C-alpha cells in the first residue's frame, strides 16, 4: 500500500520532472558558447550561483525575503480566513464587506506597493504589510465561497445535536470549506511571492528583489542571473511544499474524490 | 402511558418571494413514551416539514410542540436525528468514530465514558471495529448505520428519522428495519420515522399517522395491532398486515 503510493509519487515526479530537465539541458547547451554579455553561459551562472548562494549572501538577501514572505503570508492567511468566516456566516456583514472586497481584489497587488510606502515608509513593515494585504483577498474570497457552500443537511444535523455557533463554524463550516480555501491559499501564496520581490525593488538594500535589481543596475549580469535562478528554484520548492501540505491536510477530500 | 411529544394545533406556512405556501394546517397528535410512530403521506405533503418543526429547526406559524410538557423553542435536548441523505449528513473529513464523538463534546463525559459510548453504539449497529474508517469508505447501508450510531451515542429519549432507508437496496433495508426495531427494544427510545414505504410503516410501527391534503391535515391515525417481536417473513405474510397496508395505502391515496 505505502510502497505503491511511493512508487506513484516517484512516477509522477519522473513524468513531471522531464520537462524542467530538458529545458535546463537546452539552456546549458544553447548558452555554452554565448558571447552575448547579457546572456552568459549557464555554466558560468552556476559557478557564480555557488559563490553567491552557498551560503555567502543567504543571511543578507535570502533570509530577509523569506522572513517577509512568511510573515506577510501568515498575516494574510489569518486575516483572510478570519474575515471570510465572519462574512460567510453573517449575511449582515457580507452586504457591507463584499463591495469593498470586490473593489480591492481588482487592483493589481503590485500597484499597491507605492501606497504602502507612503503609509509605512521604506522599512520591512511596509513590505510585510503589502504582502499581507495582497494575500488576504484571494483567501478571503475563497473562504466566503467555501463557507457558503456548506450543505444544509450537515448544518441541520449539527444544530439538532446541539453544536454551538462557534462549534458549527470551527468543526463544520471551516473544515467543509477547506478544499475551496486551499485554492485561495495557493493563489495567495503565488501573489505573496510576487509582492515579496516587487516590494524589494523600492528603497531596499536587502532581499532577493533588491539583490537582482542592484546587480542589473551595476551591470553585474552574472549576479543578476543567479538571483533569477534562485527565485525560480525557490518558487518551485515552495510550491512543492505547498502541494504536500495540501495533500496531507485534504487527504479525506482526495480520498473521497478518488472513490466517487 | 405518558405523552412524550404533544403536537398541538400546529400550522406552517412558508413565505417566499414567489408567494406563501400553506403546508400544515392545524395538525394535532400525541406520541406516547416509547412508541414507534411512522408518518406517511404523498410526496410534498409536509412530512419533512413536520419533522423539522419537531427538531426545533423551524418554528410553526401557529400552534406549539411540547416535549414532556415543555414547549420547544429550538433543538430539544434528548432528541437525535437521522436524515435521509447519509452521503451528506456525516462529515467526510472525520472518521466514523470522530463523527460519533462530535455531538458528545457538549456532554460532560470522561474520556473513558466517551470511548465506551462510541464503542457500544458502534456495536449496537453492527459496526464494531469499523470506527476508524471514513464514511466515504463505507457502503450506503453502513453509512446509515453509522448515522444511527451517532444518534444513539447521545443517549436520546427521542429518535427522529426522515426517510432513512430511502436510498439503500432492498436487503439492506430489511436489515436496517430490524436494526431500528432492536434499538427501540434495547433503549426504549420514542421513535418517529417518516417513510414513503407503506409496508415499512406497517412493519415497524405501533401507530401510523397519515398526512393528506394541501395544506395537510392528519387524515387518520392507524393503530398497528400486530404483536412484537415482528419478523420480516411472518409479519409481512400475516393477513392483518395485508389489511392494514391496504387501508393505509387507500388513506395515502385519498381513496377512502
Ligand atoms: N424552505 C422551504 N421554503 C418554501 N417552501 C418549502 C420549503 N420547504 C418545503 N417547502 C414546501 O413545502 C411542501 C412540503 O414539503 P416537505 O415537508 O419537504 O414534504 P415531504 O417531506 O412530505 O415530501 C412542499 O410543497 C415544498 O415545496
Ligand atoms: Mg421529505
pLDDT tens track for A196-240: 999 988 877 788 888 999 998 888 999 999 999 999 999 989 988
Q: DSSP letter string over chain A?
A: -HHHHHHHHHHHHHHHHHHHHHHHHHHHHHHTT---TTS--HHHHHHHHHHHHTTTTIIIIIHHHHHHHHHHHHHHHHHHHHHHHHHHH-HHHHHHHHHHHHHHHTS-GGGGHHHHHHHHTTSHHHHHHHHHHHHHHHHHHHHHHHHHT--HHHHHHHHHTT--HHHIIIIIIHHHHHHHHHHHHHHHHHHHHHHHHHHTTSS-SSSHHHHHHHHHHTT-HHHHHHHHHHHHHHHHHHHHHHHHHHHHHTHHHHHHHHH-
Percent share of chain B, pLDDT over 70: 100
Half-sphere exposure of B152 (CA within 13 A, CB side): 27
3-class SS at B112? helix
Please give, rounded to a whole number of angstroms, the shortest distance from the CA of B185 to a CA of chain A. Answer: 23
Contact assignment for A156 to B83 by CB distance below 8 Å = yes
Backbone angles phi, psi at B179, to 5 degrees: -60, -45
A135 and A236 housed in the same domain: yes
Whether chain A has a CB inside 8 Å of the CB on B52: the answer is: yes
Q: Which helix (H) or strand (E) holds B198?
A: helix B198-204
- d(CA A202, CA A75) in angstroms, rounded, equals 22
pLDDT tens track for B73-103: 999 999 999 988 777 889 999 999 999 999 9
CB B91 within 8 A of CB B119: no
3-class SS at B73? coil
Residues of B in contact with A156 (CB under 8 A): 52, 55, 57, 81, 83
Contact assignment for A256 to B92 by CB distance below 8 Å = yes
The predicted complex's ipTM stands at 0.87
A48 and A98 housed in the same domain: yes
Residues of A in contact with B98 (CB under 8 A): none
Q: Evaluate if residue B245 carries a pLDDT over 70.
A: yes
Residue A213 placed within a domain: yes
Let me know the angle formed at the C-alpha of A118 by A117 and A123, rounded to the nearest 5 degrees: 35
A147 and A250 housed in the same domain: yes
Residue A144 placed within a domain: yes
Residue A35 placed within a domain: no
Is residue B131 packed enough to be buried (19+ CB in 10 Å), middle (13-18) or exposed (0-12)?
A: buried
CB A66 within 8 A of CB A128: no
Ligand nearest to the CA of B58: 1
Q: Is B251 in the pocket of ligand 1 (CB under 6 A)?
A: no
Residue A222 placed within a domain: yes
pLDDT tens track for A70-124: 999 999 999 999 999 998 888 777 778 788 888 888 888 888 888 888 888 888 8
Per mean pLDDT, which range of A3-17, A178-192, A245-259, B114-128 is the poorest? A3-17
CA distances from A201 to A67, A71, A122, A195, A213 (A): 16, 19, 11, 10, 7
Q: Evaluate if residue B256 carries a pLDDT over 70.
A: no
Res. B209 pLDDT band, cuts 50 70 90? very high
Q: Which of residues 226-255 of B touch A (CB under 8 A)?
A: none
Per mean pLDDT, which range of A1-15, A200-214, A245-259, B27-41 is the poorest? A1-15
Distance from the alpha carbon of residue B161 to the mean position of ligand 2, in angstroms: 10
Let me know the angle formed at the C-alpha of B194 by B188 and B199, rounded to the nearest 5 degrees: 90
A5 and A124 housed in the same domain: no
3-class SS at B162? strand
A201 and A136 housed in the same domain: yes
- The per-residue pLDDT for A1 is 63
Per the structure, the count of domains in chain A is: 2
- The per-residue pLDDT for B154 is 93
Long-range CB pairs of B231-235, under 8 A, 24+ apart, other chains included: B232/B174, B232/B177, B232/B178, B232/B203, B235/B203
CB B132 within 8 A of CB B97: yes
Residue A20 placed within a domain: yes
- The per-residue pLDDT for B42 is 93
- d(CA A196, CA A204) in angstroms, rounded, equals 12
Residues 6+ apart with CB under 8 A from A189: A73, A135, A238, A239, A242
Q: What ligand 1 atom has the least distance to the C-alpha of B216?
A: 14
Q: What ligand 1 atom has the least distance to the C-alpha of B50?
A: 17
Residue with cell 496531507: A248
Pick from A237, A230, A234, A226: which is nearest to A49 by CA? A226
Per mean pLDDT, which range of A41-45, A161-165, A201-205, A224-228 is the poorest? A201-205
Residue A133 placed within a domain: yes
Q: DSSP letter string over B203-220?
A: HH-SEEEEEETTTBEEEE
CB A247 within 8 A of CB A182: no
A118 and A206 housed in the same domain: yes
Contact assignment for B91 to A172 by CB distance below 8 Å = yes
A70 and A167 housed in the same domain: yes
- d(CA A161, CA B150) in angstroms, rounded, equals 10
A16 and A95 housed in the same domain: no
Ligand 1 site-directed mutation target among B43, B44, B195, B209, most atoms within 8 Å of CB: B44
Q: Which three cell numbers stand for residue A64?
A: 530577509
Percent share of chain B, pLDDT over 90: 84
- d(CA B207, CA B253) in angstroms, rounded, equals 18
Residue A203's region, left for phi above 0, alpha for psi from -120 to 50, else beta, is: left
Ligand 1 site-directed mutation target among B12, B18, B19, B21, most atoms within 8 Å of CB: B21
Mutate to test the interface with A, among B51, B72, B91, B106 (most CBs of A within 10 A): B91
- d(CA A82, CA A143) in angstroms, rounded, equals 9
pLDDT tens track for A174-188: 999 999 999 999 999
Domain coverage including residue A65 = 40-259
A4 and A125 housed in the same domain: no
A20 and A102 housed in the same domain: no
A17 and A118 housed in the same domain: no
CA distances from A185 to A91, A122, A220, B215 (A): 24, 27, 36, 49
- d(CA B52, CA B187) in angstroms, rounded, equals 23
Residues of A in contact with B52 (CB under 8 A): 156
Residue A18 placed within a domain: yes
Whether chain A has a CB inside 8 Å of the CB on B140: the answer is: no
Contact assignment for B154 to A161 by CB distance below 8 Å = yes
A58 and A127 housed in the same domain: yes
Contact assignment for B92 to A253 by CB distance below 8 Å = yes
Res. B15 pLDDT band, cuts 50 70 90? very high
Residues of B in contact with A161 (CB under 8 A): 75, 80-81, 102-103, 150, 154
3-class SS at B235? helix
Amino acid at each position: 500500500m505505502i510502497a505503491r503510493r511511493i512508487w506513484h509519487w516517484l512516477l509522477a515526479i519522473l513524468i513531471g520532472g522531464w520537462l524542467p530537465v530538458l529545458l535546463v539541458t537546452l539552456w546549458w547547451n544553447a548558452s555554452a558558447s554565448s558571447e552575448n554579455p547579457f546572456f552568459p553561459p549557464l555554466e558560468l551562472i552556476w559557478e557564480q550561483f555557488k559563490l553567491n548562494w552557498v551560503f555567502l549572501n543567504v543571511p543578507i538577501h535570502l533570509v530577509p525575503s523569506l522572513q517577509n514572505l512568511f510573515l506577510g503570508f501568515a498575516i494574510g492567511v489569518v486575516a483572510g480566513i478570519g474575515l471570510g468566516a465572519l462574512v460567510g456566516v453573517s449575511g449582515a456583514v457580507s452586504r457591507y464587506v463584499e463591495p469593498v472586497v470586490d473593489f480591492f481584489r481588482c487592483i493589481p497587488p503590485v500597484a499597491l506597493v507605492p501606497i504602502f510606502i507612503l503609509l509605512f515608509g521604506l522599512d520591512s513593515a511596509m513590505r510585510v504589510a503589502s504582502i499581507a494585504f495582497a494575500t488576504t483577498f484571494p483567501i478571503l474570497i475563497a473562504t466566503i465561497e467555501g463557507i457558503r457552500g456548506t450543505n444544509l443537511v450537515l448544518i441541520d444535523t449539527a444544530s439538532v445535536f446541539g453544536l454551538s455557533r462557534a462549534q458549527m463554524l470551527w468543526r463544520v463550516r471551516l473544515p467543509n470549506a477547506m478544499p475551496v480555501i486551499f485554492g485561495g491559499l495557493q493563489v495567495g501564496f503565488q501573489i505573496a511571492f510576487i509582492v515579496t520581490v516587487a516590494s524589494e525593488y523600492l528603497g531596499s538594500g536587502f532581499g532577493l528583489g533588491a539583490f537582482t535589481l542592484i546587480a542589473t543596475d551595476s551591470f553585474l549580469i552574472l549576479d543578476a542571473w543567479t538571483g533569477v535562478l534562485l527565485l525560480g528554484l525557490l518558487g518551485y520548492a515552495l510550491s512543492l511544499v505547498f502541494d504536500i501540505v495540501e495533500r496531507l491536510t485534504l487527504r479525506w477530500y482526495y480520498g473521497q474524490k478518488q472513490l466517487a | 402511558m405518558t405523552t412524550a411529544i404533544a403536537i398541538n394545533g400546529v400550522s406552517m406556512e412558508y413565505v417566499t418571494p414567489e408567494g406563501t405556501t400553506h403546508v400544515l394546517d392545524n395538525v394535532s397528535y400525541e406520541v406516547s413514551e416509547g412508541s414507534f410512530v411512522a408518518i406517511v403521506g404523498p410526496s410534498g405533503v409536509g412530512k419533512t416539514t413536520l419533522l423539522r418543526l419537531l427538531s426545533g429547526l423551524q418554528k410553526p406559524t401557529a400552534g406549539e410542540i411540547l416535549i414532556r410538557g415543555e414547549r420547544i423553542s429550538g433543538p430539544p435536548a434528548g432528541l437525535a436525528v437521522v436524515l435521509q441523505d447519509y452521503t451528506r449528513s456525516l462529515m467526510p473529513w472525520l472518521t466514523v468514530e470522530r463523527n460519533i464523538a462530535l455531538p458528545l463534546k457538549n456532554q460532560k463525559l470522561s474520556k473513558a465514558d466517551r470511548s465506551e459510548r462510541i464503542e457500544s453504539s458502534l456495536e449496537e449497529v453492527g459496526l464494531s471495529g469499523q470506527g476508524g474508517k471514513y464514511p466515504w469508505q463505507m457502503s450506503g447501508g453502513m453509512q446509515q448505520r453509522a448515522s444511527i450510531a451517532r444518534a444513539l451515542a447521545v443517549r436520546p429519549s427521542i429518535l427522529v428519522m426522515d426517510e432513512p432507508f430511502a436510498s439503500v437496496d432492498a436487503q439492506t433495508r430489511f436489515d436496517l428495519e430490524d436494526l431500528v426495531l432492536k434499538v427501540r427494544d434495547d433503549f426504549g427510545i420514542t421513535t418517529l420515522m417518516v417513510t414513503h414505504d407503506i409496508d415499512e410503516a406497517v412493519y415497524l410501527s405501533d401507530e401510523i399517522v397519515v398526512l393528506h391534503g394541501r395544506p395537510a391535515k392528519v387524515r387518520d391515525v392507524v393503530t398497528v395491532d400486530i404483536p412484537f417481536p415482528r419478523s420480516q417473513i411472518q409479519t409481512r405474510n400475516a393477513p392483518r398486515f395485508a389489511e392494514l397496508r391496504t387501508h393505509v395505502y387507500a388513506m395515502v391515496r385519498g381513496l377512502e
